[in-house]
């Protein structure tokens, strides 16, 4: 099964979402050096969700994931950020973006659920 630590796959995902939010915030909230409070909270929430992902380092991209772990309001915020920042990130972070696009083509792994106690 997948590891729960901070593996390479999740580190890349974290870097991707942080880069997207920073790009979005700079344009939409006129933030120069640091994120505004709203974008900072969204980034923190995304980090928490990544750490608690039941897929661990086998985590699929959010677009192909069968589990929707974001609250609906946060999911809509992330969609808005990705719609804006995704295409622009290709120019600023090409390797990170291309790798994310390639990983988006992979199917989500099957999530193995633990058997309930008391059953054989």
pLDDT at 25: 94
Q: For residue 63, which of 24, 108, 23, 20 has the smallest C-alpha distance?
A: 108
Q: 1 pLDDT exceeds 60?
A: no
Q: How many domains does the chain have?
A: 1
pLDDT in tens, 26-66: 999 877 788 999 999 999 999 999 999 888 888 888 778 88
pLDDT at 55: 84
Residue 1 in any domain: the answer is: no
pLDDT in tens, 56-73: 888 888 778 888 889 999
Q: What is the pTM of this model?
A: 0.79
pLDDT in tens, 87-100: 999 999 999 888 88
Residue 18 in any domain: the answer is: yes
Parent domain of 66? 9-104
Categorize the per-residue pLDDT at 17 as very low, low, confident or very high, splitting at 50, 70 and 90: very high
CA distance 25 to 11: 21
State residue 85 phi and psi, 5-degree precision.
Answer: -80, -30
Residue 32 in any domain: the answer is: yes
| Mean pLDDT lowest among 11-20, 90-99, 104-113 | 104-113
Residue 95 in any domain: the answer is: yes
pLDDT at 2: 44
More confident residue, 106 or 85: 85
Residue 29 in any domain: the answer is: yes
Residue 120 in any domain: the answer is: no
Dmax over CA atoms of the chain, in Å, equals: 59
């Amino acid at each position: 099964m997948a590891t729960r630590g901070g593996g390479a796959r999740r580190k890349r995902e974290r870097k991707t979402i942080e880069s997207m939010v920073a790009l979005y915030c700079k344009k939409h909230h006129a933030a120069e050096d640091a994120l505004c409070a709203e974008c900072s909270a969204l980034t923190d929430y995304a980090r928490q969700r990544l750490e608690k992902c039941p897929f661990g380092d086998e985590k699929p991209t959010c677009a192909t994931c069968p589990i929707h772990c974001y609250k609906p309001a946060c999911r809509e915020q992330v969609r808005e950020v990705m719609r804006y920042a995704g295409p622009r990130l290709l120019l600023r972070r090409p390797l990170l973006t291309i790798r994310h696009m390639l990983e988006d083509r992979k199917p989500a792994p099957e999530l193995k659920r633990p058997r309930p106690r008391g059953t054989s």
